[in-house]
Amino acid sequence: MHKGRLEAFSDGVIAILITIMVLELKVPHEGHGFEAIKPLLPVFASYVLSFIYVGIYWNNHHHLLQATQKVSGAILWSNLHLLFWLSLIPFTTGWMAEGHFQSEAVALYGFVLLMCGVAYFILEQFLIRAHGTSSSLAKALGSDFKGKISVLLYALAIALAFVNIWLAVAIYVGVAAIWFVPDQRIEGKITH
């Protein structure tokens, strides 16, 4: 089975997701001047954060499939599972921003990120299973420390959202920062 269409389909879905988020930036029909778009600032800030998250997933997905040789039914479905959770990011981004960063919305934003992290981890496991634990892919992925710590941090942020939402938001920004660097493990060990 060929990985080309898996990449093309994932690219399509991720490209649409990253773009439809901007539709939440609704053109104001009232007010004048910069005052009219001031209420959009939290929406814009959330858009930037989610754009970076979806960008990180695209980047890592790009690296992960680069190292992939074979595709099975289980890999197709675990990839669709990842796309499913990613597809919820525009909704949680919108609710967080337009719901005035209430605790529940901030927690749900983290929950969807957590599920994206879990789905990415599952996809990695099926890829390792298909390629063998002694494959260069498996070696390059190693213990995926960054992936595991992110999921723990999202769980912490979900709890903290009910204490102080800014602590949760700070964790979301922080995790984005540690992932911003593309997956050096694979880039370093396989592609070069």
By CB under 8 A, name the binding residues for a second copy. 1-2, 5-9, 11-20, 22-25, 27-29, 32-34, 36-37, 48, 51, 55, 58-59, 62, 66, 73, 76-77, 80, 83-84, 87-88, 90-91, 94-95, 98-99, 102-104, 108, 180-182, 184, 187, 191
| Residue 62 · residue 32 · CB < 8 Å | no
As measured in angstroms, the least distance from the Cβ of 156 to a second copy is 20
Residue with smaller CB distance to a second copy, 14 or 123: 14
| Residue 161 · residue 103 · CB < 8 Å | yes
As measured in angstroms, the least distance from the Cβ of 138 to a second copy is 20
As measured in angstroms, the least distance from the Cβ of 30 to a second copy is 10
Residue with smaller CB distance to a second copy, 4 or 142: 4
* Coil vs helix vs strand at 181: coil
Q: What is the dihedral of CA 70, 74, 76, 78, to 10 degrees?
A: -120
Residue with smaller CB distance to a second copy, 119 or 152: 119
d(CA 48, CA 46): 5
3-state helix, strand, coil in the chain (%, to 5): 80, 0, 20
As measured in angstroms, the least distance from the Cβ of 15 to a second copy is 3
Residue with smaller CB distance to a second copy, 5 or 148: 5
As measured in angstroms, the least distance from the Cβ of 19 to a second copy is 4
Residue with smaller CB distance to a second copy, 102 or 164: 102
| The dihedral sign for the CA sequence 184, 130, 52, 103 | negative
* Element holding 129 (H helix, E strand): helix 103-131
